[in-house]
Structures are given as C-alpha cells and as structure tokens.
C-alpha cells in the first residue's frame, strides 16, 4: 500500500499527531536528560581545543545544546507518524490573532515578557548566592568575544527548541487531552522552569512560562511564544554585554529604593493590561485556539 503523507509535511507538522499526556511529558523529560548526557559526552573533547575555560565551555554548550533535543524529537516524530493514520491531531502553530491582529499581539507580548522578567528579579534576588561554576557557565553564554555564538545559542536555539518542547508538545498535549487550561498552563510552566535545572533560572522561567502558556492558549501561535522567548533572552544578552552593567547583579543596583518599586508596579500593571487585552481573543474550543488535524484515513 502506498504510504500517505499530509500535504506540506514540514518540520512542525511532523509532530501534529503526538499529543502527550502527563506520562508522556515525563517521558519527554527523560529523553531530554538522556540527550543531555549523550550530547555532553560527545562535546566534552572540545574542551581540549581551547586554552580559555570559558570559551571551551561556550563551545561545549553550543554543540551539546541542540543535540540534547534529538532523542525527544525522534521519539515525538515517530509517535506522531504512528498515530497519524487513525487518530486526530492538532497543529503546533496556529494564527488566531483576531480581533487584536498579529502586529498588536506581537508588540503586547514583547512588552509583557520584558515586564515579567523585570518583576521576577525581586524573587531571584532573595535566593542564595549562585555557585561559582554555574555563574561561569551562564556568563559563557552571554559574555565574551564570541557574540555571534552567544546570540545563536541564547536568541535562536533556546527560543526554538524550548518553545517546540514546552508549548508545542507539552502544553498542546495537555490541552488536547482535556486538562483544564489553568492547570495545563501551570504544569507546562513548571516543566519549562524545571528543564533549566537551577532555581536562579527556573523561577523566572516559570513566571514567564505562565505568560507564554496563556498567550499560546489564546492564539495557538508558536511563532508568538518564540518571539517572546527571543525578546527575553536577547534583552538579557544585550544587558550582559554592557560594560557599565558588569558588576550589576539585580535591578535594585540600578534603580534605588522607591524608583525600583515604581517601575515594578508599572510592570505589574502592564502585564495585567496585556492579559486583559488577550481576553478579547475567544478560544474556539475548550482546549484553546489550537486547530485540529484529521487522521490521514479520514476525509
């Protein structure tokens, strides 16, 4: 029998028929951890090629980061292919922007993301001091002479791979399996925070992930959450490379006392306005604005 493939079977469409439940979410996490282990083993020989430990660490991460996503990608694509013949699926990327429009949605979510990022600083500032090895690892991603590599890692790889996994697979899967949107968004945000593997990144990731999840539920647009992720990471990259901010650890070092809390309150208000604006986008289904896809053998 001739094999049937959907039209426009592009990269994201390869995963349309895989909609993981909670158990599948943990399976993806396990595959991600396995991928991380294997990728680091592959990349570690790179260390010997560089005299500067920070530069070596950057290139190890540059090689290992995309490789770690290969096991969950292969598994998800295989599951989707097996399910595609008789089970319905759902698109990873949709375009439900009405009545706001794509341009206004994009502008609002970028502002909202940066506002949440600012507010999260108030929580991370209360955490214990970051271990030196972790601080060096994070600095290697954002500070140094290899700005192009930093940009690819932080602003291209991370938004693409992490949004594919956390919103495109995990959140979409939970919603498609009839989990209440509130809990699906919270659980996917927790998953997003957890895969950062340290509290100094996990807490801001969880808070931002809540906004990402809400926007995805309302619009179904993976492009929009990738843009939000890009904006957050690129802003961090730009600020990290400002010489005048080299010794700054939090926004309280820049905005003293009352000024900080005025800006904090303004950011909270801005996030609330963004959420209210997106309430105007009405979900077409209980699982949100995620378009269904028919099985291949169903007309």
- pLDDT, one tens digit per residue, over 19-69 is 999 999 999 999 999 999 999 888 877 766 666 677 777 788 888 899 999
**Residue 92: pLDDT above 70?**
yes
- The answer to the question of residue 55 being in a domain is no
- The answer to the question of residue 88 being in a domain is no
- The answer to the question of residue 41 being in a domain is no
**Residue 189: pLDDT above 90?**
yes
Of all residues in the chain, the percent with pLDDT exceeding 90 is 65
**Residue 210: pLDDT above 80?**
yes
**Residue 239: pLDDT above 70?**
yes
Domain count, the chain: 1
Length of the chain: 299
Mean pLDDT score of the chain, rounded to an integer?
89
Of all residues in the chain, the percent with pLDDT exceeding 70 is 91
- The answer to the question of residue 178 being in a domain is yes
**Residue 3: pLDDT above 90?**
no
Which strand (E) or helix (H) includes residue 89? Answer: strand 89-90
- The answer to the question of residue 49 being in a domain is no
Residue span of the structural domain in which 133 resides? 94-293
Burial 91-116 (b: 16+ CB within 10 A, else e): bbbbebbeebeeeebbebbbbbbbbb
pLDDT at 74: 97
- The answer to the question of residue 144 being in a domain is yes
- The answer to the question of residue 12 being in a domain is no
Alpha helices in 21-101 (DSSP H): 22-43, 53-68, 70-83
How far is 4 from 296, CA to CA, in rounded Å?
7
- The answer to the question of residue 275 being in a domain is yes
């Amino acid at each position: 029998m001739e094999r049937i493939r959907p039209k426009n079977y592009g990269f994201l469409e390869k995963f349309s028929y895989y909609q993981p439940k909670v158990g599948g979410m943990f399976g993806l996490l396990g595959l991600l951890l396995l991928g991380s282990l294997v990728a680091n083993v592959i990349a570690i020989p790179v260390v010997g090629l560089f005299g500067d430990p920070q530069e070596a660490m950057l290139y190890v991460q540059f090689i290992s980061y995309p490789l770690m996503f290969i096991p969950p990608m292969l598994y998800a694509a295989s599951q989707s292919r097996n399910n595609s013949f008789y089970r319905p699926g759902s698109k990873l990327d949709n375009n439900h922007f009405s009545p706001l429009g794509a341009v206004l949605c994009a502008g609002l979510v970028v502002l909202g993301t940066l506002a949440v990022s600012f507010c999260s600083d108030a929580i991370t500032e209360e955490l214990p001091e970051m271990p030196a090895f972790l601080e060096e690892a994070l600095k290697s991603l954002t500070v140094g002479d290899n700005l192009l590599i930093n940009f690819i890692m932080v602003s291209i790889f991370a938004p693409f791979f992490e949004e594919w996994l956390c919103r495109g697979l995990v959140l979409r899967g939970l919603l498609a399996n009839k989990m209440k949107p509130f809990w699906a968004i919270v659980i996917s945000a927790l998953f997003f925070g957890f895969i950062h593997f340290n509290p100094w990144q996990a807490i801001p990731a969880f808070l931002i992930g809540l906004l990402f999840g809400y926007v995805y539920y309302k619009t179904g647009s993976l492009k929009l959450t990738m843009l939000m992720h890009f904006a957050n990471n690129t802003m961090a990259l730009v600020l990290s490379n400002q010489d005048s901010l080299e010794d700054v650890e939090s926004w309280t070092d820049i905005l003293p006392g009352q000024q900080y809390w005025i800006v904090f309150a303004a950011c909270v208000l801005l996030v609330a306005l963004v959420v209210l604006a997106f309430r105007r986008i009405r979900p077409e289904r209980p699982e949100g604005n995620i378009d269904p896809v028919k099985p291949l053998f169903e007309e």
